[in-house]
Every structure is written in C-alpha cells, then in structure tokens.
Amino acid sequence: MNHTLRVPDATLYYEVRGRGPLLVLAGAPMGTRFLAPLADLLAADHTVLTTDPRGVGGSVPDDPDADSTPQLRAADLAALIAHLDAGPAAVFGTSGGAVTGLALAQSHPSVMHTLVAHEPPVTELLPDAAGQRVAIEDIIATYASGDVPGAWMKFLVNANIPMDPSAAPPPPDAQQEADERFWFLHEMRGTTLFQPDLAALRSSGVRIVVAVGEDSTGQICDRTSAALATELGTERAVFPGGHIAFVEDPATFAPRLREVLK
C-alpha cells in the first residue's frame, strides 16, 4: 500500500508490503521504484517498509534547495517506524541508505535491532579521505556546470566502477532527471562526508552487519565497507553481485539477506 507521512519539514512517500516482523529497506539516492522487486520477495515473511528518501521521487521537502543529510534521513526513518508502530525493526540500508542506517543506529537506536549496512560510501574512514573530498567537490562542480556525462564519468572513475562504453542507458524521464539533480547537488556531499560516530555505534545495542558485494572488489565501497568493519571489529558479510545487485538480481539477493538477518 502507498502512503504519505508529514514530518516537520517534508512530506514522505512510503510503501508497505506483507506481514510479519518489520524490515526497512533504505536506499539513497535509490527509492521505492528500485527497491520494490526485492521488497515483493521479502514480503512473504516480513512487513516491508520502503520509502523515497527526502528530495527523491514522492518525498518532497518544503525547501527544494535544502540538502539531504544522513541525519535528516535517519530522523525520517525513525518517524516512519514510529508511525507504523511495528518496531523495533531490522534495517537493510544500501549505498547512501546504508549511511542513513548508520546515522539511525547512532541517533535512534531504540527503533531498530539490526542494521545490514550494504556498501556504505563512508569515505571519511579512508586514508585518502582528503583526496576523496576534493574528488567529490569536483564531481559536483562538473554536474553544476551542465556537464552531466562528465560528472557521471568522474563519479564512476572515482568509484572504480567498470564502464561499458557500448551500454548507453535509456534517456531519463523527468522524475529521474530531477532525482539525479537532487543527488548531485543536495545529497552526495552530505552522504560521503558523513563521519560515523564509532563509539556510539559500538554502544548502540544494534547488531550491525557490514555487507559487501562479491563483485565489488577494488571499488570504493569495497574499501569503505572494509574500513568500517575493521573499526567495528567485525567481519564483512559477502553478498552476491555488485553495488546494485538487489536491483539486478533480487531473486538471488533476497535469500542471502534472509540468511544474514537470521
């Protein structure tokens, strides 16, 4: 079922599927349209909450030029979980949504019992964090100049994600263009500059599983997830596929997520 929830500075769009213990699927910048196939599979034995992160899709901030930070998105998830009155929840966060999940565990640990943080781009934990800041600012400036292909090229090179020059994506629709613009100009900086409070995470009482895709070796999120797992004193859980495997092959991804949640 599709719903909206009013929070102090935004209207949040969310969807609920299934029945059972609450499982939250959180992405950033990816929202409900990308998480729906995985949510459909997991709804067989969970109540699954998906949402568009603020500024993306149907989640509209009052100020369209306000930045989206992990802390704000965490407050949004906490409000949604409280609204459903079905917590504490298990949370699967991927990419920027994994950073949202870390912020949620730091600031609202009572609403969750488990966080699976899949490939969080926490570049502040890397030895070359200063260089990463410079790279991110250059990517954002390139996009702001109007060079959209150049911004994507720089992003993929910095992330060390292989590019197939023969695979041209279909033209984005108006919503995808708006979401892309918001991500580059108002979400990327706050997400990648997020500094996890490691002491707060260790003492939160939340079971934190850092996850990485088996095909992500050498990519930036392989490095960041390894750094986070080391800081938390845990081993990473390996998932099938790469950074967006939950979109590309949800039928293979879902059983592994169920296994980790157990």
> Would you list the domain boundaries of the chain?
2-128+194-261
Cα→Cα distances 260→7, 62, 135, 208, 231, Å: 32, 37, 34, 11, 20
Question: Mean pLDDT lowest for which of 66-70, 99-103, 152-156, 164-168?
Answer: 164-168
Q: Is the pLDDT of residue 120 over 90?
A: yes
pLDDT of residue 133: 97
pLDDT of residue 202: 96
- pLDDT per residue as tens digits for the range 130-148: 999 999 999 999 999 999 9
Q: Is the pLDDT of residue 169 over 70?
A: no
Q: Is the pLDDT of residue 109 over 90?
A: yes
pLDDT of residue 174: 86
pLDDT of residue 32: 96
pLDDT of residue 163: 72
Burial of 11 (0-12, 13-18, 19+ CB in 10 A): middle
Just give the CATH number of 2-128+194-261: 3.40.50.1820
- pLDDT per residue as tens digits for the range 39-58: 999 999 999 999 999 999 99
| Tokens describing residue 121 | 């781009």
pLDDT of residue 2: 85
Q: Is the pLDDT of residue 1 over 90?
A: no
Sorted by sequence, the CB contacts under 8 Å of residue 67 that are 6+ apart come out as 186, 187, 189, 190
Q: What is the chain's mean pLDDT, rounded?
A: 95
What does the DSSP assignment read for 61-79?
ESSTTSPP-HHHHHHHHHH
- pLDDT per residue as tens digits for the range 76-95: 999 999 999 998 999 999 99
pLDDT of residue 173: 81
Residue 138 sits at the vertex; the CA angle it makes with 130 and 62, to the nearest 5 degrees, is 100
